[in-house]
Structure 1
Amino acid sequence: MAYQTGTSTDIFDLLDKVRVLAVANGWAQDGWDGAILNLHSGSTYVHFYASTEDTTGPILYMRGSSGFTAAGWDGHPDLGPTAATNKFSGPFAVYYLFVTSQYIHGVAQNTGGHWKHFSAGELTKNSTYNGGTYIQGVCWYFVDSDRANSIYHNRLFDNKSNYYYRGVNSISAEIEGVYTWFLNRYDVENGTSGRYVEGYLNTSVDNSVTYADINTLLIRGVSDFNNLTTLHAVPQGVQRGSDYFSVIGHPEDFRVLNMQYYNPGDMIVIGSDEWLLFPIINKIQGDSNTPYSEWYGYAYRKRP
């Protein structure tokens, strides 16, 4: 079964549930010691590390690679940067896992009532190339918690987030003969070496950043006629030489949406497809003392 929901005691227990469901859905377990989990499916290699050593509390680190060397966190070939989902404190009143042989999507509500998201897998590709692995987490900068569109928060497949705290979301691809991990655009434009991914989402508005097209649709995405919203796919483009870009694919069974008229855990049914909806962190507006993500939300397809 590709979908599972329930309760969990802590981040280590939740990662163990990820392990079991992933193996049941086509992933091979390369290593597991109760905190570090190494998995692969085909040529997609992902690594998870549950830790309580972060200053904000429990945190889930994630990395990708092009292969596997030995059980553990380091030493794998073409090892990518570390993404993270932070302040991942249990027990979790509810979690949702969406797993196929292509991806692992996870959502959990922590003790503060905040929703935590993480995702790893392979893009649905637009062409043939090596790579396509993505590693994504929602890493919230709690000093700026009262601004949903702060550039210092890392969000899933959001191209403008800043490497300010712990997470570097990334996507791999062999482009022009070089295997590369493409980073958040802000990081590369502000001194981090490498090339960047253009995620066409850009929920941040700091530094006079112009809204991306999908974000504009998100803001205006609820129909005044019927109060329904649109689920938007998030295409991913990577930077090539001479500042050209190629759209290389999109994350499967993942969408972004405006949640104005929806609650966490609500379902949208389109034909035979069922989509579960969640806020990025907390569906409230304008509370200066509480992390909030306004009406920005994620939708995950529930497969049987």
Structure 2
Amino acid sequence: MTTETIRIGTRGSRLALAQASEVRARLMAAHALPEEAFAIEVISTSGDRILDRPLSEAGGKGLFTKEIEEALLDGRIDLAVHSSKDMATAMPEGLAIAAYLPREDVRDVFIGRTVQRIADLPLGAHVGTASLRRQALLKRLRPDLRLSILRGNVQTRLAKLEAGEVDGTLLAFAGLKRMAMESVVGEFLDEETFPPAPGQGAICIQTRDGDERAAGLLSPVADPRTAVELAAERAFLARLDGSCRTPIAARAILEAELLRFHGMILTPDGARMHETRGEGLAERAAAIGDEAARTLLAEAGTGFFAGWSGADGWRAS
């Protein structure tokens, strides 16, 4: 194995650093390398700096990856570690997702300031979340709630909750678990009725396309099951042209060679929802996701997403 330092690029949040450290630990174990063989390079992204407005207004998913991808393209880093749900479906030319780590629990969780469950929130309670998908799903469960955008990393959001700015918030359990913060969880949300974002719970590693050194490093730590599940979910997202402007949920589960898929689209106010299910062989993962998206597009009609303006909210077509 090469003695050159392996440079891992990541955002600087506590969660992002935990994910990069997990990648490093797995690579150390797989190749019997010391920690000194790796350098974790923190790269500030637009998504980390823009906190005064929703991501849908600022530019969407690429805000959390653009600067890291630029560092990868120009050779400042060798590997880029991302949360898969932050990744746009179209890769910049010259880059590729080379591996996924084994997927963590995909469920969302509710964290309340004074109550443990969503059902226990008083009428008109204030819940903050940066996710349009979570807002839309929550509106379906509790139309009476007052919802607002809550930006910032996990620690920032929890601090705002503790300060009383909101009565509750929703987060991905995977991130909390990776930071050993499971104790803050109030309620786990059922993934059948509250399905996750495409890619939720999965760490992906991006490399330069054709980088054989990186491919050799990552091969022993790559999880094939997660790769199959994400192939379906990302194909679903790609066909729907999904971004932070559109509430989209998807969950693919691979059991043996059978892949089961559940996809959902909603209007941001939660008033309209369409969902579909499918299954098939693992080798057809991308096709299963794509077919599910086509089904929903046909069912919902071409104007379903056109009514969402991003900055102004939902305007019915």
TM-score interval, normalised by the smaller of the two chains: under 0.3
TM-score between both structures, scaled by the size of structure 1: 0.27
Query: Which has the larger helix fraction?
Result: 2
TM-score between both structures, scaled by the size of structure 2: 0.26
Query: Which has the larger strand fraction?
Result: 1
Greater RCO, 1 or 2 (C-alpha within 8 Å, sep 6+)? 2
Larger Rg computed on CA atoms: 2
